[in-house]
Amino acid sequence: MSSDALATDPKPDPAELALIAARCFQGADGRRMLAYLRAITLERTLGPGADDAHLRHLEGQRQLVHHIQTLIERGRNGPTSESNSSSHTDQ
């Protein structure tokens, strides 16, 4: 599947997406960008005065970065035996 097809396909192949993520974040620039994304989301804390909207917004950002990290790992290492076994139980 081409990158053009990925842009228009609402359900692209998860394995291909994982490989694309791994390629995007390989090398020094990719590692720096991922470190930056972690710093502004996963490693960020809000004070006790943070309202519900800010907490929810940050949690959404954290979920997105975690999803990207998961895709990268799958692209580099292939699916884990845990994800393989869960996909078999869903069928």
Query: What is the rounded average pLDDT for all residues in the chain?
Result: 85
Between the CA of residue 25 and those of 11, 43, 50, 66, 89, what are the distances in Å?
22, 19, 32, 14, 31
- Residue 79 — very low, low, confident or very high, per pLDDT cuts 50/70/90? confident
Q: Bigger pLDDT: 78 or 40?
A: 40
pLDDT given at position 35: 98
pLDDT band at 3 (very low <50, low <70, confident <90, very high): low
Number of Cβ within a 10 Å radius of residue 21: 21
List, for residues 36-72, the tens digit of each pLDDT value: 999 999 999 999 999 999 999 999 999 999 999 999 9
* Token code pair at residue 49: 């005065």
Helix residue ranges per DSSP H, the chain: 3-8, 14-24, 27-40, 52-77, 81-89
Q: Report the pLDDT value the prediction gives residue 88, as an integer from 0 to 100.
A: 40
pLDDT of residue 9: 72
